[in-house]
């Protein structure tokens, strides 16, 4: 012990005999310790005493290992050996204070010699770095959490510098955009962004991100295969805590391609609906459920009200604002009935213009609460007059047929007598006919069908001609033109029958041509549906669903028009009680698929095997007219396209025809 005191005293005399050195030693910001080659503390300043929480007199004479954290003692002893060999050192270590608190310090050591240049120990400088280590550990944990989130997130996470150089991409980026990590890191962010979206990214980075915690933009990012993916990207600027400058940008991007496409389709659908709303000749409007004020209306209603009542209709106008009291009450009663029954269909006579309208009122609901009424009005005055005229003409025809029937019965009686006389000769003829039965069976069937199909239009032509002969000089030019149009319409129908017969003939002989070209299939379908409209009744609902991504296809327009026209007209014709008639068009497995569905009489199962035989007709068609040729021509039209036709039908429930036409990708 006396020897140690002597060493301590010598050190004090050596270091502190100068007032300047003493001042530096005591006022230094770092803890300073002088220890011998065993680690025994010979001298320590006030700063070191504060670091470990002891008084200086409690420190002098203790070994430095007394203050070292137990897990670092092995490292401490190795350092002592190096220092005794004259090696300088700089390292970090944990000390234990008097209160058992862990104190992180940065230590710099150097050998210490006396004036005689003899090694007496080492000098150690201690700088507390506890706060720095706490921040570093928190940063490591934060980075670990960020890496964990980035690796498991379904969003594509990326980081890039203020110069735009990419420094990090998450695994989701690799999965979503197809690049390997090495193909992206170090490249500029603009190499992967659609040229039209670069300005948007620049504005976001320079004008928005520095002043906002999080900013969202929508942009297109290029996939490795060359196509672009719509993404919603949320970005933020990471600032340097010391300077406040932007260090980098971080973005999380989510694929919203499907959402963008859906929004575009919805926008197109709304535009089409508005165009239909404005272009129709029918009056369409809606009213609220409180005072029946008008909410929306189309041009047909606006100009119709102006023409009839001389009023410019406006939103929020109630029936009492443009109708007399009695008429306004009548309309309020109609609206109240619609609210009560949810839906009503009535014929409404507008005496101001001597016109009859077909009126449909439907309750509008939102969250199961009625908020208004939608109204649809169609002028059926012409139709009602034509129905009355048709009824009168039908009565006349029935009388004419009755007289013709009596005449035919008389002729038939004479024929029976004549046939009896010719019985013997006929039996001989029948023997000859029996030998040619197979050939004549087809001809007889054709004559039977053709006679049936020709007879009705010919009777109409004959009747119209007789009327012209009898009353033509007394009729007005309007009535004359009406009869002439009827004859013309009937003649065109006869021409269609002959055309079907010629077409099936060319089909059987292989003379029908196949001439494909680029056609707008959507416009063709709309044109066909417009032609079909004239045979619809009020009981029918015609629906068109077009879900193809493009409209132009390489097909034979004439053949496609023929098969769609026939299938749609059959759907209407064989649905005498009305119902839904649907044309659905969509692509499927390199085919353009046309599906025509109805809710008509259906095809009996026993007749379905003869569906494509010429002249064959279903056993349940009753008095519905037809030649039985259409399906044969349709089948040939599809075969020329190398396509397929499938039929799904149940008697009494309806029929669905599905046509598959191959198309190029």
- With cut-offs at 50, 70 and 90, classify the pLDDT of residue 438: very low
Q: Is the pLDDT at 563 greater than 70, yes or no?
A: yes
Q: Which residues, including other chains, have CB under 8 Å from residue 475's CB and lie 6 or more apart?
A: 483
317/338 Cα distance (integer angstroms): 19
Contact 249, 238 (CB under 8 A): yes
- With cut-offs at 50, 70 and 90, classify the pLDDT of residue 534: confident
599/124 Cα distance (integer angstroms): 99
Q: Is the pLDDT at 475 greater than 90, yes or no?
A: no
Over range 405-433, report the average pLDDT.
Answer: 80
Among 256-260, 275-279, 395-399, the range scoring the smallest mean pLDDT is: 275-279
What integer pLDDT is reported at residue 455 of this predicted model? 59
Q: Is the pLDDT at 443 greater than 50, yes or no?
A: yes
**DSSP strand E in 289-407: where?**
294-297, 343-350, 355-366, 369-379
Instruction: Measure CA of the first residue to CA of the last residue in the chain; give whole Å.
Output: 99
7/38 Cα distance (integer angstroms): 13
Over range 441-464, report the average pLDDT.
Answer: 60
Higher-pLDDT residue of 581 and 459 is 581
Tell me the backbone φ, ψ of residue 249, rounded to 5 degrees.
Answer: -115, 140
Residue 250: name the closest of 236, 268, 232 by CA: 236
Angle at 238 between CA 232 and CA 241, to 5 degrees: 165
Among 210-224, 284-298, 562-576, the range scoring the smallest mean pLDDT is: 210-224
What integer pLDDT is reported at residue 230 of this predicted model? 92
Question: Any idea which residue has 């609906």 for tokens?
Answer: 273
Spell out the SS3 assignment of 492-519: HHHHHHHHHHHHHHHHHHCCCCCCCEEE
Q: Is the pLDDT at 439 greater than 50, yes or no?
A: no
Question: For 586-619, how does the pLDDT look when each residue is reduced to its tens digit (9 = 90+)?
Answer: 999 899 999 999 999 888 888 888 777 766 677 7
Contact 555, 627 (CB under 8 A): no
Q: Which residues, including other chains, have CB under 8 Å from residue 647's CB and lie 6 or more apart?
A: 603, 608, 611, 655, 656, 657, 658
| 591-597, strands of its sheet edge to edge | 540-546, 579-588, 591-597, 654-662, 644-650
What integer pLDDT is reported at residue 543 of this predicted model? 92
Dihedral over Cα of 597, 601, 602, 603: its sign: negative
Contact 375, 285 (CB under 8 A): yes
Higher-pLDDT residue of 207 and 44 is 44
- With cut-offs at 50, 70 and 90, classify the pLDDT of residue 426: confident
What integer pLDDT is reported at residue 140 of this predicted model? 60
Average pLDDT, the chain: 81
What integer pLDDT is reported at residue 141 of this predicted model? 59
Question: For 615-650, how does the pLDDT look when each residue is reduced to its tens digit (9 = 90+)?
Answer: 667 777 877 766 667 787 788 888 888 899 999 998
Q: Is the pLDDT at 270 greater than 50, yes or no?
A: yes
Q: Is the pLDDT at 144 greater than 90, yes or no?
A: no
Q: Is the pLDDT at 304 greater than 60, yes or no?
A: yes
> Any idea what DSSP says for residue 164?
-
Residues paired with 294 in a beta bridge = 287
Range list of H helices, 354-436 = 381-421, 423-435
Higher-pLDDT residue of 655 and 273 is 655
User: In 3-state terms, what secondary structure has residue 377?
Assistant: strand
Higher-pLDDT residue of 594 and 146 is 594
> Any idea what DSSP says for residue 209?
G
What integer pLDDT is reported at residue 119 of this predicted model? 75
92/130 Cα distance (integer angstroms): 10
- With cut-offs at 50, 70 and 90, classify the pLDDT of residue 234: confident
Angle at 325 between CA 322 and CA 328, to 5 degrees: 60
- With cut-offs at 50, 70 and 90, classify the pLDDT of residue 328: confident
> Any idea what DSSP says for residue 436?
T
Q: Is the pLDDT at 223 greater than 90, yes or no?
A: yes
Chain centroid offset of residue 522 CA: 19
Dihedral over Cα of 242, 243, 247, 251: its sign: positive
What integer pLDDT is reported at residue 559 of this predicted model? 86
607/620 Cα distance (integer angstroms): 9
Question: Any idea which residue has 């939103």 for tokens?
Answer: 315
Percent residues over pLDDT 70 in the chain: 82
Among 544-553, 573-582, 609-618, the range scoring the smallest mean pLDDT is: 609-618
Interstrand relation of 89-96 and 41-44 (parallel, antiparallel or unpaired) = unpaired
Q: Is the pLDDT at 3 greater than 50, yes or no?
A: no
Question: For 86-107, how does the pLDDT look when each residue is reduced to its tens digit (9 = 90+)?
Answer: 788 888 889 999 999 999 999 9
Distances (CA, A) of 122 to 20, 64, 118: 21, 12, 12
207/200 Cα distance (integer angstroms): 10
Among 101-110, 363-372, 435-444, 553-562, the range scoring the smallest mean pLDDT is: 435-444
192/222 Cα distance (integer angstroms): 5
Over range 201-228, report the average pLDDT.
Answer: 79
Question: Any idea which residue has 């900013």 for tokens?
Answer: 215
Q: Is the pLDDT at 66 greater than 60, yes or no?
A: yes
Over range 574-581, report the average pLDDT.
Answer: 90
Contact 461, 490 (CB under 8 A): yes
Among 61-70, 128-137, 487-496, the range scoring the smallest mean pLDDT is: 487-496
Dihedral over Cα of 473, 475, 481, 484: its sign: negative
């Amino acid at each position: 012990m006396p020897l140690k005191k002597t060493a301590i005293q010598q050190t004090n005399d050596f270091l502190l005999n100068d007032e300047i050195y003493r001042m530096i030693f005591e006022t230094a910001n770092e803890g300073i310790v002088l220890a011998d080659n065993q680690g025994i503390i010979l001298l320590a300043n006030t700063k070191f005493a504060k670091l470990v929480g002891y008084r200086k007199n409690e420190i002098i004479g203790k070994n430095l290992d007394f203050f070292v954290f137990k897990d670092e003692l092995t490292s401490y002893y190795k350092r002592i050996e190096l220092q005794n060999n004259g090696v300088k050192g700089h390292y970090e270590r944990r000390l234990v204070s008097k209160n058992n608190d862990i104190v992180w310090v940065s230590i710099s050591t150097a050998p210490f010699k006396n004036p005689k240049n003899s090694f007496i120990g080492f000098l150690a400088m201690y700088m507390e770095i506890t706060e720095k280590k706490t921040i570093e550990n928190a940063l490591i944990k934060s980075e670990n959490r960020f890496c964990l989130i980035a690796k498991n997130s379904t969003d594509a996470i990326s980081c890039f510098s203020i110069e735009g150089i990419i420094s990090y991409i998450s695994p989701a980026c690799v999965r979503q955009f197809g690049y390997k990590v090495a193909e992206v890191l170090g490249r500029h962010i603009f190499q992967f962004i659609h040229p039209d979206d670069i300005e948007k990214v620049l504005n976001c980075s320079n004008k928005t991100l520095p002043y906002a915690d999080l900013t969202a933009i929508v942009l297109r990012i290029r996939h490795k295969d060359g196509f672009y993916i719509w993404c919603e990207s949320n970005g933020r600027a990471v600032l340097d805590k010391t300077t406040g400058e932007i260090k980098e940008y971080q973005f999380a991007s989510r694929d919203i391609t499907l959402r963008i496409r859906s929004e575009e389709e919805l926008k197109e659908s709304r535009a089409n609906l508005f165009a239909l709303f404005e272009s129709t000749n029918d009056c369409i409007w809606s009213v609220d459920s409180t005072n029946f004020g008008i909410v929306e209306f189309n041009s047909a209603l606006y100009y119709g009200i102006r023409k009839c009542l001389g009023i410019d209709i406006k939103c929020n106008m109630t029936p009492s604002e443009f109708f007399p009291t009695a008429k306004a009450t009548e309309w309020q009663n109609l609206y109240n009935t619609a609210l009560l029954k949810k839906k009503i269909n009535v014929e409404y006579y507008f005496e101001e213009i001597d016109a009859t309208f077909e009126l449909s009122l439907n309750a509008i609901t939102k969250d199961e609460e009625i908020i208004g009424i939608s109204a649809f009005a169609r002028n059926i005055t012409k139709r009602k007059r034509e129905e009355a005229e048709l009824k009168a003409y039908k009565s006349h025809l029935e009388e004419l047929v009755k007289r013709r029937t009596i005449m035919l019965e008389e002729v038939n009686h004479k024929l029976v007598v004549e046939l009896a006389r010719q019985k013997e000769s006929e039996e001989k003829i029948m023997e000859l006919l029996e030998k040619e039965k197979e050939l004549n069976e087809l001809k007889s069937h054709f004559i039977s069908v053709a006679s049936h199909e020709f007879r009705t239009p010919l009777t109409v032509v004959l009747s119209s001609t007789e009327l012209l002969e009898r009353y033509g000089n007394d009729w007005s030019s309007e009535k004359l033109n009406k009869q002439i149009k009827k004859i013309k319409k009937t003649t065109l129908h006869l021409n269609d029958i002959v055309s079907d017969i010629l077409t099936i003939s060319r089909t059987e002989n292989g003379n029908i041509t196949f001439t494909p070209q680029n056609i707008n299939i959507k416009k063709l379908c709309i044109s066909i549906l417009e032609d079909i409209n004239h045979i619809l009744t009020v009981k029918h609902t015609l629906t068109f669903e077009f879900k193809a991504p493009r409209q132009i296809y390489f097909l034979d327009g004439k053949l496609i028009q023929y098969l769609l026209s026939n299938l749609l007209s059959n759907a209407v014709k064989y649905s005498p009680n009305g119902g839904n008639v649907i044309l659905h068009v969509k692509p499927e497995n390199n085919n353009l698929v046309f599906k025509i569905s109805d809710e008509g009489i259906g095809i009996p199962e026993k007749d379905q095997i003869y569906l494509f035989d010429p002249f064959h007709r279903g056993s349940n068609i009753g008095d519905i007219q037809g030649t039985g040729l259409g399906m044969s021509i349709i089948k040939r039209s599809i075969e020329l396209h190398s396509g397929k036709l499938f039929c799904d039908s149940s008697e009494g429930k309806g029929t669905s025809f599905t046509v598959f036409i191959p198309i190029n990708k």
